[in-house]
Amino acid sequence: MTLADETRWMDATEQAALVRAGDVHPTELVTAAVERIEQMNPTLNAVVSQWFDEALGWAADPDLPGGPLRGVPFLLKDLSTAMAGQPLSNGNRALKDAGWRPPADSTLVARYRAAGLVILGRTNTPEFGTLPVTEPEAWGPTRNPWDLSRTPGGSSGGSAAAVAAGMVPVAHASDGGGSIRIPASCCGLVGLKVSQGRTSMGPGRDESGLSVEHVVARSVRDTALLLDVSHGPGVGDTVIASPPARPYAAEIGADPGRLRIGVQSTHPLGLPLDPACAEAARTAGKLLASLGHDVDEAWPAMQADPSLPVHFTRLWATQRALAVARVEEIVGRPTTDDEVEALNRVMAEHARQSSALDLALAQAAASNFRRALHAWWAPPPAGDGWDLLVTPTVAELPPRIGEHANDPSDPMAPMRRAGRWVPFTPAFNLSGQPAISLPLHESPEGLPVGVQLVAAYGGEDALLRVAAQLEAASPWAHRQPSL
């Protein structure tokens, strides 16, 4: 058995321990990951930019940082997160053709490198991260390792496919409407959306928006360790989550206490829900009750607000217009119709035709929604006093590739299709709360089905304690795709 085979299903914590013990050199881990990527990527199309020779050079350098993840191979999502001198396309044809390379690391990338991670390339993403599937016209679709006819989800679908297939143990991801949690569910991974302001978006982005950045991983302990090396404000950040009381890794195995947990196993708007997704939430509730928690069928009434998709879409469209404007600034000219996908062109144009008052009203509605939603977790008398909410992560099994394809005659069709199967995640981008998807269930066809747990703002510690408790009670590491 080769080292590539021996390390394929090891998580980042275990791989880093091998390096610290002197059992392997960082170059050996990187070479093994490169071998796996070269073997599997032609089938999956998960990794769209590769800089293997440079990565091997960094791994061989005696000055490779001696952080807790020294030598562990890693991939960056091809969206927004800058790495000095390496290509970044945001899933867009104009940036891809321009071969744009940012001049400096983002705050987050600098922290990853300081932890000793060796970054090998970038993973596929939908253009500007707009859709919950990974099928950009610029790069083509990424396929799910569990079923090659299906999507791995999005927008962090390339990262999720790479980790689920065993190319790397963990990979960067971001989440503006479910883009960490959705692919984690589709690919059988752990996906934590952190609290707004938990990780820095600097220097090129703002923490006050919908999106946050973290990783997709195979284990809860990796999720905690990666947060330990990346959390905290950067220069100029103004939305800053309170620091944890202790390292997040210390929450693994810690007693979560007896919690009051609500379970939601129906669609918030009363629409159809795949039986496997509903069963995933109910089964998780039963498991939590068996572990000593107080569990009831209950969920925040605000999730049924029919205006939520309207406000979210208006804010989402504004971000698409900003993305197009940034592309045009980088390439130094207006983009042509064939350089921006139909959905994003229409959304950007809608935002341009909206007024500043329209945006302010959407932001005010989002703020009111956030405060009302937070009250479900707040202790009495200010709120209802729940500790955690359990929901399905998604409402359907992973859709077939092509179901969200751009249609020039109906550009918003992919967004409507997306809305039918991802009703559970966007609310917590608007609220800024932490939420984690865990691979606790599988469909009759053997596809992964994720369960989402949501905590109060700043409650990553509670999420990690309960997630680790569930991982111990119902392990998933043995479930691997046959690819």
Residue 390: band (very low, low, confident or very high) from pLDDT cuts 50, 70, 90: very high
Among 80, 89, 155, 185, which one carries the catalytic annotation?
Answer: 155
Residue 185 known to be catalytic = no
Q: What angle do CA 250, 255, 257 make, to 5 degrees?
A: 135
Condensed to tens digits (0 to 9), the pLDDT of residues 134-181 reads: 999 999 999 999 999 999 999 999 999 999 999 999 999 999 999 999
Round to whole Å and give the CA distance between 177 and 241.
Answer: 19
Q: How many residues does the chain have?
A: 483
Q: What is the pLDDT of residue 152?
A: 98
Run of H or E residues at 55: helix 52-60
Residue 155 known to be catalytic = yes
Run of H or E residues at 49: strand 47-50
Among 49, 77, 200, 431, which one carries the catalytic annotation?
Answer: 77
In this structure, how many other beta carbons lie within 10 angstroms of the beta carbon of residue 9?
13
Q: What share of the chain is helix, strand, coil (3-state, %, to 5)?
A: 40, 15, 45
Q: What is the pLDDT of residue 305?
A: 84
Residue 200 known to be catalytic = no
Q: Give the CB-side neighbour count of residue 447, counting CA atoms within 13 A.
A: 24
Round to whole Å and give the CA distance between 449 and 441.
Answer: 5
Q: What is the pTM of this model?
A: 0.98
Condensed to tens digits (0 to 9), the pLDDT of residues 170-218 reads: 999 999 999 999 999 999 999 999 999 999 999 999 888 899 999 999 9
Condensed to tens digits (0 to 9), the pLDDT of residues 281-323 reads: 999 999 999 999 999 999 999 888 888 788 788 898 999 999 9
DSSP at 297:
E
Condensed to tens digits (0 to 9), the pLDDT of residues 399-447 reads: 999 999 988 899 999 999 999 999 999 999 999 999 999 999 999 999 9
DSSP at 259:
-
Is the separation of the CB atoms in 369 and 376 below 8 Å?
Answer: no
Q: What is the pLDDT of residue 208?
A: 84
Q: Extract the runs of DSSP E, i.e. beta strands, from 298-381.
A: none
Among 179, 230, 431, 437, which one carries the catalytic annotation?
Answer: 179
